[in-house]
Amino acid sequence: MSKKKILIVFGTRPEAIKMCPVINELKRRKEFATIVAVTGQHREMLDQVLNAFSVIPDFDLAIMKESQSLFDITINVIEGIKDVIIKVVPDVVLVHGDTSTAFATALAAYYLQIPVGHVEAGLRTNNIYSPFPEEFNREAVSLITEFHFAPTKATKANLIKEGKLPKKVYVTGNTVIDALKTTVIDDYSHPDLEWAIKADEPDSNSRFVLFTAHRRENLGEPMKNMFRAVKRVLNEHRQVKLVYPVHLNPVIQEIAMREFGDCPNIRLIKPLDVLDFHNFMSRAYLILTDSGGVQEEAASLGKPVLVMRDTTERPEGIETGVLKLVGTEEKDIYREFGRLLTDPSIYKGMSSAENPYGDGQASVRIADILRDSLTK
Ligand code: UD1
Ligand code: UDP
């Protein structure tokens, strides 16, 4: 029997982190020919992940431009990936999540009448402007998808509510937990981590804060609000150290330098590679972020997270208590960050919550489902 061809397409850092475990699992199975195409929506931040997981793409569209618009990404992906799909003629195209790479690829596969498998399906805020444009992207991908790989029961329920057929929706867990199982190690050191942890004496390694912010809808005032709130708290708690690996978007680089540049207990650094970032997370006291993936990873590591967004598509972590949605107003972030640093009972409640996002076996389940469906 000829091997079933699976074309996996992604383009940004988080998609890569969550798809590399799937690629490595599919490549272990003799029934599949696994072909990897990257759009290069991200460049350095994508390459860091490919290197970390030793994945060498078969195709690279290399579309990234500085300060690219949504039009640039969508047009360039759809044109480039069309040729790849026509050349490969896959049995299924796998996309991930909610990026414009995922949306444009799914649309190209649909036009060419190739079935789509959607990893991390069913996340919803039901507000197409928040996160922007991710909520639209994932809803649109769901319309086209044949295999919905939902990470949790709640995400499966979202899809069923929208009328997707239950037999096409599978609960697999989130593949980010698969990745995390391979990256966090006991014996780890890094100069920026040493700076953050040593400076905490006598409280040893317990008060290092990790920070990330990058969302398109937060560029401008919301991001300035976040940075100002954080700076006020850090000015009041000089023993607490904060590390911010700044996203390579030039707009964010500029705001971060302007707002944070002169604060002695804040260190701005380049994006960390995934192995470093996961080990930083596992040693952080708490995390402030507007990221999607960081919410899931932190929940799995039992790290309290203040989510600096107005909506989240990851309510499971809010329900178990490890995540708290604090919005993007300066006063709210200032209040909640201060509280978490000064009230041990709030901290304890958040850090002892359960992980709702998976058991590290999501990639195996996805590969099993594809085997059972495609090779029958
Ligand atoms: C994209 C995704 C977002 C995801 C995020 C993860 C869309 C519309 N957005 O947003 O869903 O949460 O990735 O990080 O799909 N840049 C570099 N080098 C890199 C990466 C980015 O220089 O390796 C700079 C470029 O100037 C680029 C800009 O950052 O134009 C923005 O990148 P882009 O992919 O358009 O948006 P993100 O905000 O990263
Ligand atoms: N991450 C990383 N290095 C960093 C910051 C984040 O490897 O310096 C990883 C993090 O572990 C998570 C992913 O990037 O898996 C999240 O990406 P991002 O926040 O850019 O996107 P989102 O998840 O919001 O789409």
Q: Digits of tens for pLDDT over the chain (376 positions)?
A: 789 999 999 999 999 999 999 999 999 999 999 999 999 999 999 999 999 999 999 999 999 999 999 999 999 999 999 999 999 999 999 999 999 999 999 999 999 999 999 999 999 999 999 999 999 999 999 999 999 999 999 999 999 999 999 999 999 999 999 999 999 999 999 999 999 987 545 554 448 999 999 999 999 999 999 999 999 999 999 889 999 999 999 999 999 999 998 899 999 999 999 999 999 999 999 999 999 999 999 999 999 999 999 999 999 999 999 999 999 999 999 999 999 999 999 999 999 878 899 999 999 999 999 999 998 7
| Annotated catalytic residue within 124, 138, 148, 214 | 214
Indicate whether 157 and 246 sit together in one domain.
Answer: no
Q: Which pLDDT does position 207 carry in this prediction? A: 87
* Residue 220 domain flag: yes
* Residue 183 domain flag: no
Q: Which pLDDT does position 187 carry in this prediction? A: 93
* Residue 43 domain flag: yes
Task: Output the CA 249–ligand 1 centroid distance in Å.
Answer: 6
Residues with CB under 6 A from ligand 2: 13-14, 17, 176, 212, 214, 245, 271-272, 274, 277-278, 291-294, 297
Residues 6+ apart with CB under 8 A from 316: 152, 154, 299, 356, 357
- Which two structure tokens, joined as six digits, stand for 93? 């195209």
CA dihedral 145, 320, 16, 212 (to 10 degrees): 130
Ligand closest to Cα of 301 equals 2
Task: Output the CA 13–ligand 2 centroid distance in Å.
Answer: 6
- Specify the residue with its C-alpha closest to ligand 2, atom 19: 291
Q: Which pLDDT does position 1 carry in this prediction? A: 73
276 noted as active-site residue: no
Indicate whether 96 and 70 sit together in one domain.
Answer: yes
Q: Which atom of ligand 2 is nearest to the CA of 49?
A: 7
Indicate whether 211 and 343 sit together in one domain.
Answer: yes
Indicate whether 119 and 13 sit together in one domain.
Answer: yes
Task: Output the CA 319–ligand 1 centroid distance in Å.
Answer: 29
Could you give the number of structural domains in the chain? Answer: 2
* Residue 230 domain flag: yes
216 noted as active-site residue: yes
CA–CA separation, 102 vs 118, rounded Å?
9
* Residue 13 domain flag: yes
- Closest to 143 in 3D by CA, of 96, 106, 108: 106
CA–CA separation, 267 vs 188, rounded Å?
19
Residue 289 Cβ contacting ligand 1 at under 6 Å = no
Task: Output the CA 64–ligand 2 centroid distance in Å.
Answer: 18
The best mutation among 9, 38, 42, 120 to test binding of ligand 1, ranked by most ligand atoms within 8 Å of the C-beta, falls on 42
CA–CA separation, 2 vs 275, rounded Å?
37
CA–CA separation, 323 vs 345, rounded Å?
15
* Residue 12 domain flag: yes
Structural contact between residues 65 and 72, judged by C-beta atoms closer than 8 angstroms: yes
Indicate whether 75 and 144 sit together in one domain.
Answer: yes
As separate numbers, helices (DSSP H) first and strands (DSSP E) second, the chain gives 16, 13
Residue 99 Cβ contacting ligand 1 at under 6 Å = yes
Q: Residue 16: which H helix or E strand, with range?
A: helix 13-28
CATH number at residue 246: 3.40.50.2000
CA–CA separation, 317 vs 313, rounded Å?
10
Indicate whether 82 and 213 sit together in one domain.
Answer: no
353-375 exposure pattern, b = at least 16 Cβ within 10 A, e = fewer = bebbbbebbbbbbbbeebeebbe
Distance, CA of 164 to chain centre: 24
Query: In which residue are the tokens 């991001």 written?
Result: 223
CA–CA separation, 181 vs 159, rounded Å?
28
CA–CA separation, 294 vs 305, rounded Å?
9
Indicate whether 367 and 345 sit together in one domain.
Answer: no
| Annotated catalytic residue within 15, 91, 120, 259 | 120
Residue 250 Cβ contacting ligand 1 at under 6 Å = yes
Structural contact between residues 30 and 367, judged by C-beta atoms closer than 8 angstroms: no
Burial class of residue 2 (count of CB atoms within 10 Å of its CB; 0-12, 13-18, 19+)? exposed
Structural contact between residues 286 and 309, judged by C-beta atoms closer than 8 angstroms: no
- Closest to 81 in 3D by CA, of 65, 61, 98: 61
Domain residues for the domain of 264 are 191-351
Indicate whether 203 and 314 sit together in one domain.
Answer: yes
Indicate whether 310 and 199 sit together in one domain.
Answer: yes
Q: Which pLDDT does position 307 carry in this prediction? A: 97
Task: Output the CA 42–ligand 1 centroid distance in Å.
Answer: 6
* Residue 105 domain flag: yes
Q: Which pLDDT does position 204 carry in this prediction? A: 46
CA–CA separation, 110 vs 104, rounded Å?
10
Indicate whether 199 and 135 sit together in one domain.
Answer: no
Indicate whether 266 and 367 sit together in one domain.
Answer: no
Indicate whether 126 and 215 sit together in one domain.
Answer: no
Q: Which pLDDT does position 203 carry in this prediction? A: 52
Q: Which atom of ligand 1 is nearest to the CA of 44?
A: 23
Question: Structure pTM?
Answer: 0.97
* Residue 178 domain flag: no
Q: Which pLDDT does position 267 carry in this prediction? A: 96
